[in-house]
Structure 1
Amino acid sequence: MANTGWNEFEIGAMLRSFDGVVTDNVAGVVQEDRNYSQNNSFSASVADWRIIKPVFNKNYCIDCQFCWVYCPDISIISRDKKMVGVDMDHCKGCGICVEVCPTNPKSLMMFPEQADEETEIANWTEKQSKEN
């Protein structure tokens, strides 16, 4: 299929996510090594849209995978059921990952796009005690 802009597709067009046989692309192959179609959103960066970004603090992560399950843009990078980071090329900064994170304090928090991740992790929020 030719590289077509989103507004050039006919109504009801089916877009294939992968080139080739699907089983060759997903079974045991990490996300970034799959053979994505040129019309797949994975092959285009959407980072320009973002004004806030999630910062991941692995010290508080319990690897529940909620962020991975609920991320609408497949931006959470998980290996062997462990959260390893955020794919900033595909993250739009929606904050859903932060909302579904159950840890206290959260292992993901939103910061301005220009924020330095190491500085923000050093100043991370402390555990909140429950009020009676």
Structure 2
Amino acid sequence: MKGWNEFEIGSVLFPFNEDGVQAQGKMREERSYTENSSRSASVAHWRVQKPVHNHDHCINCFFCWVYCPDSSILAKDDQMSGVDYVHCKGCGVCVSVCPTNPKSLLMFDENEVNEEALKQWPQKEEKQK
């Protein structure tokens, strides 16, 4: 077994119990993951902030889905449907790549109830002329 610092920069590690190419052709729920992959073992317990999704501002550009390092952005039927809090580490990458005004994803305290966070959402900022 190699340690993390023994891999080449940019290496891709497939966390599947099956052939990686075949697994990528399946939906996430149908894949067989290794015991130590981030899909099987949650690391969300150390998160202090979480992204909250506001459907009213989302344009379904999927930038958040593409850039999320933990595949924690949930989508179904070409619509973003939320965040997988079991696997989200709270890094905020999804918020930083969101292009909407105001952003459709914002970081809130881990203990904030999502419905309360949505009530605090900022208004659209006017463009500077």
Query: Same fold by TM-score, threshold 0.5 exceeded?
Result: yes
2:2 corresponding residue in structure 1:
10
1:77 corresponding residue in structure 2:
74
Q: Take 2:115 and 2:35, find their aligned partners in 1: how far apart are those partners?
A: 34
Q: Take 1:58 and 1:32, find their aligned partners in 2: how far apart are those partners?
A: 24
Q: Take 1:100 and 1:88, find their aligned partners in 2: how far apart are those partners?
A: 19
1:21 alignment partner AA: D
1:95 corresponding residue in structure 2:
92
2:24 alignment partner AA: V
User: Does the 8 A contact of 2:60 with 2:79 survive in 1?
Assistant: yes
Residues 1:57 and 1:20: Cα distance change in structure 2 (over 3 Å): same
Shift of 1:80: 3.6
3-state SS of the aligned residue for 1:109?
strand
2:64 alignment partner AA: C
Residues 1:96 and 1:16: Cα distance change in structure 2 (over 3 Å): closer
Shift of 1:54: 0.3
With normalisation by structure 1, the TM-score equals 0.82
User: Does the 8 A contact of 1:50 with 1:93 survive in 2?
Assistant: yes
User: Does the 8 A contact of 1:56 with 1:109 survive in 2?
Assistant: yes
2:107 corresponding residue in structure 1:
110
User: What percent of counterpart residues are identical?
Assistant: 49
2:53 corresponding residue in structure 1:
56
Moved over 6 A (4+): none
Unaligned 5+ segments in structure 1 are 1-8
User: Does the 8 A contact of 1:46 with 1:90 survive in 2?
Assistant: yes
Q: Take 2:102 and 2:43, find their aligned partners in 1: how far apart are those partners?
A: 28
Cα deviations by residue, 1:80-118 (Å, 9 ceiling, x for unpaired): 432111111111111110010000111000000010100
Q: Take 1:16 and 1:26, find their aligned partners in 2: how far apart are those partners?
A: 10
1:4 corresponding residue in structure 2:
none
User: Does the 8 A contact of 2:67 with 2:94 survive in 1?
Assistant: yes
